[in-house]
A and B are shown apart, each in its own frame.
Chain A
Amino acid sequence: MKNFQIIKALSSSSAVSNISKEKEAMFIAGGTNLVDLMKKNVVAPDKLVDITGLDLAKIEFLTGKVSIGALAKNSQVAEDASIKEKYPLLALALAAGASQQIRHMATVGGNMLQKTRCSYFYNTDMPCNKRTPKSGCGAIGGSNRMAAIFGASDSCIAVHPSDMCVALAALDAAVLVEGPKGKRQIKFTDFHRLPGNTPEKDNTLESKELITSIEIPDNNFTKNVHYLKVRDRTSYAFALVSVAVALDLKNNVINDVRLAMGGVAHKPWRLTEAEEFLKGKTVSEEIFRKAADLSMKGAKAYGGNDFKLTLGPNAITEALTIAASK
């Protein structure tokens, strides 16, 4: 690992102003992804701004919403009794990610900013447009078992690896950020982006902006929720396909529903068309299957990940069935 300078930020505004001074500077919090990337020389910052001393780790239950600080640890959120009660889908998704050691280290903000686990991105001997713009995509025509089936481009077919973000996309969360130009709020589903011709940009954060918190509006999704994660081993592996389901049922009729997928796109993939289809319908395997098929519209596979075209709708049907039966 290249050596670097590290300074500890004492406030979010000083963190932003410190990082603004140098081109190759980055924020560090949990470090579970960044330190690994630095060891592999995928990123090599000259300067790190340690933000772990900032007062941004609180979970606050406010009127009509919960605010979760960007520095709250993944395990802290996953095991918070009120989060489990009021936003159980988020707790389930968090508990499905990584291992307990990593969840103790990783923060909410860092989870959102983690990089794809596409093997071409991590191997500096291989072409990767996300790591080195204009160098090509090794995964197209290469080893692409983990690759996207939605929203990919000729430049990049990588997927976003987070579980937490799939739940947050489903729950209509918002991202609060602070930067050189001040504070602003980003809709969670607009936070991550599709690769297009600029896969090096994972999200819509502007240069030197710092995530300070996320907010989730209150909802009725406290019972019939499920996070189904299909992976190569039972635990501690990234999703091949995952599905976040939240149902608000009244006498077996779907009053409201949220559906999102992970492991299938460059961003958490919200299934709005299937949601609209399901609203007002009575729970049945048949309508779940129809919703799943509807969700696959526009899906495209790349050889190694062809199985996701079948696994995807099966996982959606299964997740809906489990959520409805809770």
Chain B
Amino acid sequence: MASKKTNPDKVTENDSNSRRDFIKKSGLLTALALAPPSLVMASENKWDEKIAEYLETVPLSIEVNGKKHNLNIEPRTTLLDLLREQLQLTGTKKGCDHGQCGACTVHVNGTRILSCLTLATMQQNAQVTTIEGLVKGKKLHPMQEAFIKHDGFQCGYCTPGQIMSGIACIKEGHANSREEIREYMSGNICRCGAYHNIVDAITEVKEGGKEL
């Protein structure tokens, strides 16, 4: 399949910049085996730059808030960066970017996780729900309503993560007392200190018994 023009050693010989080094390391042939025929053809037509760009990315099929996306992403792209930078879903917040604050909490296949520590490429065919996916038509989600009613925020930066986590907290069966809610919400930090009101909001939604 690979012509002489795409011999990885030859590419490296002719051009020693970092992109070429990367191609050598990552194995051009393996990547080409996965490439669609049009790109193989492109390589035969010496569209080196385009190929190099393609080879640094991997295909990803992912469903976000009910919408399917077929994308090409760099393997190092986190789910958080994918949502914010490529899908323009900026409701999910980047707080610490190191798994310490919970602002990036989203649901993947129904489970709350930290999108900043999740490599998007490892979420092939996953169903992701973000804060943008909660609203039904123009109707806010009961947890969103409760946060407004109980003033569960001040600056609002941690709120999308708090709401996603709060919904999961109830669904998991960990909202049976204020104490339990505080423990199972401990991964979501609020610098404004709205914790008391957040617990009020989650308690009300839990006691409301609505399907979430």
Contacts and interface: CB of A to CB of B under 8 A. Distances in A.
Contact of B76 (A1, A40, A50, A235): A1
Interface in B163-196: 165, 168-169, 172, 174, 182-184, 186-188
Contacts of A10: none
B27 A31 contact: no
Interface stretch (A99-107, A197-205, A256-264, A310-318): A99-107
Interface string A21-54: 0000000100110011011100000111010100
A101 B75 contact: no
Contact of A32 (B74, B99, B182): B99
B24 to A, nearest CB: 11
Contacts of B112: 100-101, 104
Given A5-B26, A31-B119, A99 B186 contact: yes
A3 B97 contact: no
A46 B24 CA distance: 11
B118 A105 contact: yes
A305 to B, nearest CB: 22
Contacts of A31: 117-119, 122
A234 B179 CA distance: 11
Contacts of A102: 99, 114, 117, 187
Interface residues of A, number: 29
Interface in A228-244: 234-236
B64 interface: no
Interface in A291-314: none
Which DSSP category, helix, strand, loop or mixed, fits chain B's interface?
mixed
B114 A4 contact: no
Interface in B152-169: 165, 168-169
Given A39-B98, A105-B113, A3 B169 contact: no
B25 interface: yes
Contact of A104 (B111, B121, B188): B111
Interface in A86-125: 98-102, 104-105
A326 interface: no
A2 interface: yes
A170 to B, nearest CB: 23
Contacts of A234: 182-183, 186
B169 A4 contact: no
B195 to A, nearest CB: 11
A46 B97 CA distance: 22
B102 A104 contact: no
A39 B102 CA distance: 17
Nearest to A40: B98
Contacts of B56: 3
The residue in A100, A105, A236 that gathers the most chain B C-beta atoms within 10 A of its C-beta is A100
Contacts of A38: 76
The residue in A6, A35, A235 that gathers the most chain B C-beta atoms within 10 A of its C-beta is A35
B187 A5 contact: no
- What 6 A-B pairs come out closest when comparing CB atoms? A99-B187, A235-B186, A236-B186, A5-B26, A6-B75, A1-B76
23 contacts: A3-B22, A5-B27, A6-B75, A6-B119, A6-B122, A35-B78, A35-B119, A36-B99, A36-B117, A40-B98, A47-B26, A52-B122, A99-B102, A99-B188, A100-B174, A100-B187, A101-B102, A101-B165, A101-B187, A102-B187, A105-B114, A235-B182, A236-B187
